[in-house]
Structure 1
Amino acid sequence: MSNNIVTEQLTEAGRRIEHDSFAIVDAEAGVHAYSPEQWQVVRRMIHATADFEFNGLTRFHPEAIAAGIRAIRAGAPLVADVEMICVGLSKPRLDHFGMAAHQFIADPDVITDAKAENTTRAVQAMRKARSAGLLDNGVVAVGNAPTALLEVVRMIREDGLKPALIVGMPVGFVAAAESKAETAALETVPWIVTMGRKGGSTLVVAALHALLALAEGGQ
């Protein structure tokens, strides 16, 4: 039983259902190659999707868990590619650590710049986040737009950008797998990715909630 308070379900019935679900995931997943901390992330992703393929598809930079916990405890800004991630994250859990979630995909200036430069809104949204000082030492969360992830990778390689952690799990058929492979090739910036086409905002939210729970558990 967890000693966490903020990152647990609010009712006894809710906690029991969640813990029972995790026990079923553990039993059905069987043997895996993840560390105990990494498995907490993967298990919550499976719990959110009922898809056991994420046992294997999910990859971690060696420093990802430690970097994520440090960033959360430091109240790092979180920048998402789409509003769905911001809506899905528990505000009380973010507030506990003094974190704020940001997304700029629908901002008028982002749309204008994307049209003017013939790029995507996701690319311009990440550029806006960087201009606002939110990406360096921040948590980048991408669940929908591969071009957002590719732009962050470009800024890391070309401009020396240093996010605290990338949670890169865009879903889809055009550049999704490629964007995650490019992210997984990074050595200087920690990342958590899902290899291949599978991904989505639900997975990003699940992974971040797992990291929030790990961060609270060690407080």
Structure 2
Amino acid sequence: MTYLRDPDAIYAQSFATIAAEADLAHLPPELHPAAIRMIHACGMVDLAADIAGDPAVAAATRSALSAGAAVLCDCEMVRAGIIRRHLPADTELIVTLNEPGVPDLARSLGTTRSAAAVELWRPRLAGAVVLIGNAPTALFHLIELIAAGGPRPAAIIAAPVGFVGAAESKALLASGSLSIPFLTVLGRRGGSAIASAAFNAISRDQ
């Protein structure tokens, strides 16, 4: 079988294809590296049209990481996708979804486990970097928590995926009502790979 085997050549050809086919003109230059990695993670160049964010998100994320901030992830798949060698050695990657008390907390709050897990972020949320790649209810709950006067993270990278609440939660984030630097992909598309790819692109300059 004949196919491209050299990893450097595969990467070069992949990113050349993105450069040729993806229109990033609507995005500020500060977001281009993350947008390119988001497109690379899903193989869809038309994703570019749905990517939205604050150009300050890259600098805010890097500053937070340099200051020792934790990275709060909504699920294990997001955490697994993070390239640790790009981060300061003592960076904590935190997932609370599988903590023992989460199911009972979800029942008491009348919400999902993903949303309830966000409640457990409160002690570490101030100045943290938030990554959400799976659950729209996690993003909704985070926005509610902050809007009610809760701790404010340094940056939010959110790409929850799905047919119920994904588009709505990300549109709410993109409205800018929180005044927190963010990066998202509007609409139904998203996923853990896209969220972690965006973060990896931003954090690799650490």
TM-score, with length taken from structure 1: 0.85
Unaligned runs of 5+ in 2: 1-5
Aligned twin of 1:210: 201
Question: Secondary structure of the equivalent of 2:148?
Answer: helix
Question: Residue 113 of structure 1: which of 95, 102, 105 is its match?
Answer: 105
Shift of 1:15: 4.0
CA contact (8 A) 1:73 1:97 kept: no
Unaligned runs of 5+ in 1: 1-12
Aligned twin of 2:33: 40
Residues 190-209 of structure 1: pairs in structure 2 closer than 5 A:
190-209=181-200
Aligned twin of 1:90: 83
Aligned twin of 2:58: 65
The 1:110–1:71 alpha-carbon spacing in structure 2 relative to 1, beyond 3 Å, is same
The 1:114–1:87 alpha-carbon spacing in structure 2 relative to 1, beyond 3 Å, is same
Of 157-166 and 31-40, the range deviating more from structure 2: 31-40
The 1:112–1:143 alpha-carbon spacing in structure 2 relative to 1, beyond 3 Å, is same
Percent identity of equivalent pairs: 35
Residues 129-208 of structure 1: pairs in structure 2 closer than 5 A:
129-130=121-122, 133-185=123-175, 186-208=177-199
Give the distance between the partners of 2:148 and 2:13, measured in 1 at CA: 46
Give the distance between the partners of 1:26 and 1:74, measured in 2 at CA: 33
Aligned twin of 2:3: none
CA contact (8 A) 2:62 2:202 kept: yes
One-letter amino acid matched to 2:69:
A
How many residues are matched?
200
Give the distance between the partners of 1:55 and 1:15, measured in 2 at CA: 24
Shift of 1:76: 1.4
Q: Could you list the per-position Cα deviations for residues 185-208 of structure 1 after superposition, in whole angstroms to 9, with x for gaps in the alignment? A: 225211111111111001001101
Give the distance between the partners of 2:119 and 2:26, measured in 1 at CA: 36
Question: Residue 92 of structure 2: which of 100, 110, 117 is its match?
Answer: 100
